[in-house]
Structure 1
């Protein structure tokens, strides 16, 4: 793990003691809807390979609108805090580096897609956000990845990808995930703040098993409005929940993340059937840079993510862009 990730982990550990005494944020009666697109076409240069696309539609309910048994479970795990539920429908699509081969290189990343429904409990104090959730989904043709990618390419007149006949077979997925984000104020420059957001997250399930540590450093105004921008996991994500503390909120940020991945179905191939798959790179890292604004209850974020290789024989590095639009009502 990189020194920066170890430093973030150390700050997070220290932050856990101070956050135990933190006050609760005010109730928020608003709901939030988010539309998010992640795509290598949003990055320069666009390559249309590896993690080629991710789409997500999310809903966050108001504070307190949590079923009793989930609320009790959250308080039992995390202690006191304001609670909200988040529900996400998302699709992620992966392809090899050469998408014009009818029979893809067996050492390359396999064609794969996953369609999933995710339920998350978000629990906040003023200085800490805790997340726990579960996701059910499917990989293979039932994920509709081939239809979405090649259908969109046909609409815009682009070349379709040729090797989808070798994609992973249908397989259901079930995953449990959780994490914690700390909010540490470092400095204030005449109303413009500097803040560190260390984060620990992990997942256990048949689609992916990983543990990771990292954080983002951000500079702006109204930083207590959220815990960072939302990204499709496993990248650093502050979730879709936010409560503006001023009429116009803005910040720019940079972040690092170190991750150990024990299993990844979307790289290694199907569990119960023979399929294409390749060797997993267990130690991975990400770098993120971006910006976000909140105006009149609408949050817009843009993030560029740089990834280290996720599998053997892959390119030295990979990058993609992410845009998310959230509306409170």
Structure 2
């Protein structure tokens, strides 16, 4: 009888030990799962910006060269937003941003006072448009898709804006005749660009090199382009740098860039009018090949981004000359 009780007690101890072990394993598994969830949450937090939106003001102008010709003025008002990532996109360390930019471009000939078409080296032209853009990055790769729709010609308001500026902001300024402006027309255009970047030297004086092919297709622009870019200074990686308008970066940046570009032009509506047909009195044929060069200076501090770029571009058509202009941009995240 005593032996039976011994066996019963031994069996009870074995069962109790087994149950305790299973409880301990389950507890460890729950703890591990909880830790994994915390790590995933932390990684998700680190891979999202402090501020999800940004507004941008940018102005292009050639006034620093005391000229008022060709691509004379560009005014841009932009809103940029960080897009939420799916679990797969987060695992791949992607960034996705949407941009909405309202802008106006003004093009004028060299002689602003002539009333004779034969003295014009290009037609007057203006464009106002809305650009919808999506930027997707993954490590050292960037894809940017832009879709633009807008109006060229007198309806763009370019003549009114330029004349008002020269009347109010300058003394003894030339008021352009806007003779034979490119005719009114609606435009739809798609733009694509790809970036592949390599880091050649780490911080504090980082060196980056990138290849930046571009393409445009539509009624306003049709071309293919290849750019080569170098960045020097205190700069973050592609996915976190203001060099590409990224909202993810938190570190201060201070660097400069040089860009060389070549473009093969299929159509330029600011010289030729709408290829679907319009009633422009005066148009010219663009050069098929164009060359670009610019130097840029960039500064990111806290929520503020500022850049200044100095541009050179070769002549766009036979009777024109090379052109120089400056871009100044200020952006603030919020």
- The TM-score with structure 2 as length reference comes to 0.79
- Work out the CA distance in 2 between the residues paired with 1:178 and 1:88: 16
Q: Deviations over 1:168-207 (max 9, x none)?
A: 111000001111112210112x622000121011110001
The corresponding residue for 1:148 is: 161
1:52 to 58, 64, 72: 72
Moved over 4 A (4+): none
The corresponding residue for 1:7 is: none
- Unpaired runs of at least 5, structure 2: 1-43
**Helix, strand or coil for the counterpart of 1:122?**
strand
**Contact 2:82 2:247 (8 Å CA) reproduced:** no
Is it true that 1:261 corresponds to 2:283 in the alignment?
Answer: no
- Work out the CA distance in 2 between the residues paired with 1:321 and 1:278: 25
Taking a change above 3 Å as real, the CA distance of residues 158 and 31 of structure 1, as seen in their structure-2 partners, is farther
**Contact 2:199 2:208 (8 Å CA) reproduced:** yes
Shift in Å, 1:91 = 0.3
Shift in Å, 1:324 = 0.4
Considering only CA atoms, is the larger Rg found in Structure 1 or Structure 2?
Answer: 2
**Contact 1:138 1:172 (8 Å CA) reproduced:** yes
Taking a change above 3 Å as real, the CA distance of residues 80 and 46 of structure 1, as seen in their structure-2 partners, is same
Shift in Å, 1:64 = 1.9
The corresponding residue for 1:289 is: 295
Determine which structure has greater relative contact order: mean sequence separation of CA pairs < 8 Å that are 6+ residues apart, divided by chain length: 1
- Unpaired runs of at least 5, structure 1: 1-23, 69-74, 229-237
Which residues in structure 2 correspond to 1:120-199 (within 5 Å)?
A: 120-156=133-169, 157-188=171-202, 191-199=204-212
- Work out the CA distance in 1 between the residues paired with 2:141 and 2:261: 18
The corresponding residue for 2:47 is: 26
Moved more, 146-155 or 29-38: 29-38
Moved more, 263-272 or 25-34: 25-34
Q: Give the superposed CA RMSD.
A: 2.2
The corresponding residue for 2:39 is: none
Whichever structure has more helix as a proportion of its residues is 2
**Contact 1:255 1:289 (8 Å CA) reproduced:** yes
Shift in Å, 1:38 = 0.2
1:298 to 297, 301, 304: 304
**Helix, strand or coil for the counterpart of 1:61?**
strand
Taking a change above 3 Å as real, the CA distance of residues 245 and 268 of structure 1, as seen in their structure-2 partners, is same
- The TM-score with structure 1 as length reference comes to 0.80
- Work out the CA distance in 2 between the residues paired with 1:283 and 1:324: 28
Shift in Å, 1:110 = 0.4
